[in-house]
Structure 1
């Protein structure tokens, strides 16, 4: 069986670890081969985050070709379509895994595959609640999905959305998402012994909530800052806690102003974005991850934090909340329309009413089934199922 995978970004490290694990499985058999077509190196909004002068990322050696060594937005439909069809014809796959339904070039490849009797698995990360749904776009999506033989979904909510659009549950071949747990945990464990020293050097509090991601409106960071300010006033230990916002984005100036207005400049620190493999350096300075987004198809930073043994507080609008957050065991889920819920959870951690260490251990246990090796095996099982 010849497996062809089409993916948008070479920079997407979370997929690289899964593709590597899949390659390792394929290499153990003589009847399988896999090829990954990476369309672009990166996209503009993430430019610069794939390299660093301090440290190097893990090396992945799966079989791939980078079609265009530039940003995704700079590649025309004609360019993408021409090379995708050319490479597919040359590779002669038995099954193709497409990144998504939103790229016309990949939809053209879908039609080519159907004409030539090639099976197609569609990846889906969208959920019913991450955007307003309805109208012509949804009808087109129904038709596109009806042409696919199987689906790899980013979690239960993404799978439920596909089923709502008329797909048989038997076609859902995967309901998980993974990051490189081992690489992340290794960096965290190397950094955490120097936690106190680093906190003092940066002027941080001994305990911190941390957010990781782009500083954009949908992340709902003003609510996090407002809830933290209120919690800090109510908690007996409020002065010992801070907030770390790790990332860059359009809302940075507004957040800086809000921090001044709230009077928490000594407790809240904005840290510039960094490559994914250095994020655990900041997680090591933190106690709890908070992801307050109003819309989030999944939320891979929750995987990352749990792999490092951090409890999590996650908005119920994040796709991962259903699958990864076991309420009261490794963290909490809250409704972003009710800010008091977030404030209450922050106070509980500040007051020591929760055993954060025990929650962190539970987090590592719950994230174990979301390892790249397990996700890759489920992908391979899916490829084999639909080609047989």
Structure 2
């Protein structure tokens, strides 16, 4: 069996860890080979997070070809289509895994595969809740999905969305998403001993909630700041807690102004984004991750925080909430349109009414099956299933 995987970006580390695990499984077989076609180096919007300049950047080993050594936005439809078809014809796959249904060049590859009797697995990370759905786009998706033989979905909500569009549940081959748990845990553990010292360097409180991600409207950060301001008033320990916002984005200036207006410049700190493998350095300065998004197909930062043993407070609009957050065990889920719910949860942590150590241990146990090795094994099982 010859497996061809099409992926947008070489830089997507969380996929690279899965591809490496898949390569290791394939190398144990004599009749299976795999090749990953990386269309571009990165997306322009994520360029600031590229980690090429860091000597400690983890490297991943798997068979791939980088089609265009530039940003994805700079690669035209014609270039993508010609390159994908040329490489697919040369590789002669038995099954193709496509990144998504939104790229016309990959849809063209889908049609080519169907004409030539090649099986197709479609990746889906969208959910019914992450944005408004309807109209001709949904009808197009129904047709595209009807042409596919299987689906790798980012969690239960993504799988449910595919099923709503007419896909039999038997075609759902994967319902997980993974990050490199081992690397994240290692960096976190190395950073913990200097926690107090680093908190003093950054002017942080001894206890902190942390947000990691782009500072954009969909992340719902103004609501988080208002909820924290209210919780600070309600909690007897309000002055011992702060918030770390780790990331960059278009809303940075507005958030800075809001922090000033709330009178919380000494408790809410903005730190610039950093490569993924250095995020645990900031998680080590924190107690609880908060992801308040109004729209979030999955939320890989929740995987990252749980791998490091942090409790999580996650919006119900995040795709990972159903699969990863067990209410009261490793964290809590809340309605992002009801700030009083978030204020209450923040207050609970501030007042010590939540056993963070127990929740952190539960987080590690819950995230363990969401490891690259487990996801790769399920992918391989899926490829074998549909080709047989």
- TM-score, length-normalised on structure 2? 0.99
Q: Which structure 1 segments of 5+ residues have no match?
A: none
Aligned-CA RMSD value:
0.6
Aligned residue number for residue 17 of structure 1: 17
Shift of the alpha carbon at 1:11? 1.0
> Where do 1:321-332 residues align within 5 Å?
321-332=321-332
SS in 1 for 2:49: coil
1:279 aligns with 2:279: yes
1:379 aligns with 2:379: yes
Aligned residue number for residue 312 of structure 1: 312
Deviations along 1:128-176, whole A, 9 cap, x unmatched? 0101100000000000000000000000000000000000000000000
SS in 2 for 1:47: helix
Aligned residue number for residue 130 of structure 1: 130
Shift of the alpha carbon at 1:48? 2.6
> CA separation in 2, counterparts of 1:255 and 1:313?
20
Aligned residue number for residue 95 of structure 1: 95
Aligned residue number for residue 80 of structure 1: 80
Deviations along 1:312-343, whole A, 9 cap, x unmatched? 00000000000000000000000011110000
1:6 aligns with 2:6: yes
> Where do 1:64-213 residues align within 5 Å?
64-213=64-213
> CA separation in 2, counterparts of 1:281 and 1:52?
18
Shift of the alpha carbon at 1:55? 4.4
Seen in structure 2, the aligned counterparts of structure 1 residues 202 and 253 have a Cα distance that, compared at 3 Å, is: same
> CA separation in 1, counterparts of 2:160 and 2:80?
30
> CA separation in 2, counterparts of 1:327 and 1:282?
25
Shift of the alpha carbon at 1:54? 4.7
> CA separation in 1, counterparts of 2:178 and 2:26?
19
> CA separation in 2, counterparts of 1:144 and 1:17?
28
Aligned residue number for residue 243 of structure 1: 243
1:44 aligns with 2:44: yes
> CA separation in 1, counterparts of 2:50 and 2:35?
22
Does the 8 Å CA contact 1:52/1:275 hold for their aligned counterparts?
no
SS in 1 for 2:30: coil
Shift of the alpha carbon at 1:51? 1.5
Aligned residue number for residue 231 of structure 1: 231
Q: Structure 1 segments of 4 or more deviating over 6 A?
A: none
Count of aligned residue pairs for this structure pair: 388
> CA separation in 2, counterparts of 1:89 and 1:52?
32
Q: Which structure 2 segments of 5+ residues have no match?
A: none
SS in 1 for 2:296: coil
SS in 2 for 1:369: coil
> CA separation in 2, counterparts of 1:57 and 1:341?
39
Aligned residue number for residue 366 of structure 1: 366
Deviations along 1:288-322, whole A, 9 cap, x unmatched? 00000000000000000000000000000000000
Deviations along 1:214-259, whole A, 9 cap, x unmatched? 0000000000000001101110111000000000000000000000
SS in 1 for 2:294: coil
Of stretches 47-56 and 112-121 in structure 1, the one that deviates more from structure 2 is 47-56
> CA separation in 1, counterparts of 2:48 and 2:299?
21
> CA separation in 1, counterparts of 2:46 and 2:186?
24
> CA separation in 2, counterparts of 1:259 and 1:16?
37
Aligned residue number for residue 347 of structure 2: 347
SS in 2 for 1:332: strand
> CA separation in 1, counterparts of 2:322 and 2:122?
22
> Where do 1:264-275 residues align within 5 Å?
264-275=264-275
Does the 8 Å CA contact 1:2/1:93 hold for their aligned counterparts?
yes
1:257 aligns with 2:247: no
> CA separation in 1, counterparts of 2:284 and 2:64?
33
> CA separation in 2, counterparts of 1:52 and 1:42?
12
- TM-score, length-normalised on structure 1? 0.99
